[in-house]
Amino acid sequence: MDKLKRVINQYGRWSDLTIYTERIEMFQVADFSQCVENAKALLETIGKEICSSKGILLDGTSSINSVLKKAFSAIGYSGETMVTQISSSLATIGQQIGEIRNEIGTISHGRSLEELRERNNKIDNLTKEFLIDSTIIIACFLIRTFENENPRILAPEETQISYEDNADFNDFLDDIYGEFKMRDYSFPASEILYNVDYPAYINELKAFVESEEGDK
């Protein structure tokens, strides 16, 4: 899951997906049915966002298989034979996750008490790991491919804020994370974030400002 978290952090527009990654980790051992629910929702959200960004309409009743196939097509993987087969296979995995969700889920269908007790035993640990790893692979592949083709660029009217104008926030970050040292050189954490991932710096700055205002 760490790999997917890094990808989400790298591309700010996908930050809301953390609600799914956190739930997947939370329920992976305690209640795998909930884990599968959120894995399915994660893949569907990514697929729908890509289709929406590309202007591709989805039927309200589209299956996860259909959503993922259209998402792969939207990012250009529908013409080459090998890639088509791979994307189709990945979409099929997504569909299987949806079917497993229907089989062991506790929310979409009522269950007997015995079924509730035994639902997690229907899938062995190796299969559980395979499903989670497959979810991560599909999610990372879709996000990275989409972002490579559709990088977020500051609009012309947007002016990049000055690093020096946010001393309080910079000090706040530096007090927490310190400095990065390389031989005779050292760089404060705030400066590194500002220059390496400006959108992330802005997001953290906004959160800091809101927190400061809330404390007043």
d(CA 16, CA 33): 22
Residue ranges of domains in the chain: 2-149, 163-214
pLDDT score for 65: 79
Whole-angstrom CA distances from 44 to 30, 88, 138, 162, 214 are 23, 15, 11, 38, 35
Average confidence score pLDDT of the chain: 79
Higher per-residue confidence, 101 vs 6: 6
State yes or no: pLDDT of 14 exceeds 90: yes
Contacts 24+ apart (CB under 8 A), 3-8: 3/136, 3/140, 4/136, 4/139, 4/140, 7/139, 7/140, 7/143, 7/144, 8/143
In this prediction, residues 32-58 reach a mean pLDDT of 89
Higher per-residue confidence, 2 vs 60: 2
Confidence of residue 33 (pLDDT cuts 50, 70, 90): confident
Query: Would the pTM count as exceeding 0.85?
Result: no
pLDDT score for 119: 57
Q: Which range has the worst mean pLDDT, 6-10, 33-37, 55-59? A: 33-37
